[in-house]
Amino acid sequence: MKTQVKILLIMLIIIIILIIISIFFHNKSLTGNIIKEQNNSKNTDVYMYTKGLCNESNFCQDNEITCKSNQTISVIPITGAFIQNPSNWQDPRPEEVKNKLC
């Protein structure tokens, strides 16, 4: 019986500590502050996204594409993010989407 009381007491203390921590850090959202800082910076015309790029043999790989305004800054292949499609496969995306990076 004493062991159960000790376990319950320890669990209660842990729960109280977690509640205190969550209340103390409630308004300290790092993600929100980082996004807010990026939106207010001078580099709001720089953005990054991923896109699958395919070659003539239907080998497609995801790439991390960084753009500034409408110019491509970098295209970096994502390791392990690729697929070999069948030879008769056709990319369903419109031409302007397939070939345009930024």
Q: Which residues touch 77 (CB under 8 Å, ≥6 apart)?
A: 61, 62, 63, 64
Model pLDDT, residue 42: 55
User: Please, are residues 50 and 63 in contact by the beta-carbon 8 Å criterion?
Assistant: yes
Q: What is the pLDDT of residue 28?
A: 56
Task: Confirm whether pTM is higher than 0.85.
Answer: no
Residues contacting residue 71 through CB under 8 Å, at least 6 positions apart: 102
Q: What is the pLDDT of residues 24-71, one digit of tens each?
A: 766 555 555 555 555 445 556 888 999 999 888 999 999 999 998 888
Please tell me the distance from the alpha carbon of residue 94 to that of residue 51, in angstroms, as a whole number.
14
Q: State the pLDDT at residue 14.
A: 92
CA distances to 30, 74, 78 from 83, rounded to whole Å, are 36, 21, 12
